[in-house]
């Protein structure tokens, strides 16, 4: 599985913007302060993922792991996340945290998840940093839009999160098979 389209779909499924938007259940008390925090959190997560993608080969070399082995290992957290999204699309945080905590929660729980980091490493090492980052930017833009406007009905977000969860499971299986064939 390589090429721009499959890589972008894999990163998008690993990020699951709909599940991320569902996980932020609080309504900000001040809408004008919310949007810069969302932008800051998304920019910080994209920057961190860019660094990870750019350093994918040295990271895997430092771990003494081949690309095929990493792809096979990535299939597990990716499939588990997909299964969780299919069964329970959101684990919302209900209380509105303080401003700095909002940025950290959005960046860490929505766009810097273990499965996304693993998929970014796997795709960047196999398909290149630019293809991977195209997927990261797409996922980040969709996540930011959902968090920014917060106008999408929750039932629709739940359906989209479950759909992306199912796609994540299928892609995790394909990633595992590809990793096994590479070995």
Domain ranges of the chain: 4-182
Q: Is the dihedral of CA 88, 102, 108, 144 positive or negative?
A: positive
pLDDT score for 105: 72
0.95 exceeded by the pTM?
no
Question: What is the arithmetic mean of pLDDT over 155-179?
Answer: 93
Average pLDDT taken over every residue of the chain: 86
Question: For 3-39, how does the pLDDT look when each residue is reduced to its tens digit (9 = 90+)?
Answer: 888 999 999 999 999 888 887 766 666 666 777 878 8
pLDDT score for 40: 85
Residues of the chain with pLDDT > 90, as a percent, come to 58
DSSP structure string for 114-180: HHHHHHHHHHHHHH-HHHHHHHHHHHHHHHHHHHHH--S-HHHHHHHHHHHHHHHHHHHHHHHHHHH
Question: For 35-79, how does the pLDDT look when each residue is reduced to its tens digit (9 = 90+)?
Answer: 787 888 889 899 999 999 999 999 999 999 999 999 999 999 999
Indicate the length of the chain as a whole number. Answer: 183
Question: For 93-142, how does the pLDDT look when each residue is reduced to its tens digit (9 = 90+)?
Answer: 555 666 666 677 777 777 888 999 999 999 999 999 999 999 999 999 99
| DSSP state for residue 55 in the 8-state scheme | T
pLDDT score for 66: 94
Dihedral Cα 80, 86, 87, 92, nearest 10 deg = 90
Question: What is the arithmetic mean of pLDDT over 136-160?
Answer: 84
């Amino acid at each position: 599985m390589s090429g721009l389209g499959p890589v972008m779909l894999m990163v998008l499924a690993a990020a699951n913007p709909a599940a991320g938007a569902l996980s932020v259940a609080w309504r900000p008390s001040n809408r004008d302060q919310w949007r810069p925090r969302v932008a800051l959190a998304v920019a910080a997560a994209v920057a961190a993922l860019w660094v990870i993608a750019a350093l994918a080969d040295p990271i895997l070399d430092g771990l003494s792991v081949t690309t095929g082995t990493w792809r096979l290992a990535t299939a597990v957290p990716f499939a588990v996340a997909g299964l969780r999204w299919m069964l329970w699309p959101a684990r919302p945080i209900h209380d509105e945290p303080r401003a700095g905590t909002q940025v950290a929660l959005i960046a860490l729980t929505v766009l810097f998840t273990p499965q996304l980091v693993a998929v970014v490493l796997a795709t960047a090492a196999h398909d290149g940093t630019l293809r991977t980052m195209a997927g990261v930017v797409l996922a980040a833009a969709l996540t930011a839009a959902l968090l920014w406007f917060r106008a999408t009905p929750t039932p629709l977000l739940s359906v989209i999160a479950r759909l992306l969860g199912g796609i994540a499971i299928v892609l995790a299986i394909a990633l595992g098979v590809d990793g096994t064939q590479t070995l």
